[in-house]
Amino acid sequence: MKGFLSYLILWILSKKKMNGAQISRELEIRRGTKPSPGTLYPALKELKDKGLVESDENKYYSLTDKGKIELNSACNFFCKAFYDMKEMSNCCER
């Protein structure tokens, strides 16, 4: 179940500006477990190096325009791959 983390971070940041600790807590809500700091901070650094996120003087991260495009592209990919995903929603209700 690897490989979701970076996209989940992009998704989270697309909704709200957050610092590392807040992102960590949000990930716990969504995934069930907090990422190790040795996972989260390198991931944020990589996203920043790629120009997908930026951080202000208080270490609050947000998406760049490039990050928004990247997230949209990932959504497109996902929706194409699971184009018949509606049936999956059976798992999600209730």
Q: Which residues bind DNA (CB under 7 A)?
A: 1-6, 19-21, 24, 33, 35-39, 41-45, 59
Contacts of 44 (CB under 8 A, 6+ apart): 9, 20, 23, 53, 55, 61
Question: Over the range 34-65, which residues count as b (16 or more CB within 10 Å of their CB) and which as e?
Answer: bbeeeebeebbeebeeeebbbeeeeeebebbe
Specify the residue, 1 or 89, whose C-beta has the smaller distance to DNA.
1
Minimum Å distance from CB 33 to DNA? 6
Contacts of 87 (CB under 8 A, 6+ apart): none
Ranges within 15-74 binding a second copy (CB under 8 A): 15, 30-32, 72, 74
Query: Count of residues binding a second copy (CB under 8 A)?
Result: 27
Residue 30, binding choice from a second copy, DNA, none, Cβ under 5 to 8 Å by partner class: a second copy
Residues in touch with a second copy (CB under 8 A): 1-4, 8, 11, 15, 30-32, 72, 74-84, 88-92
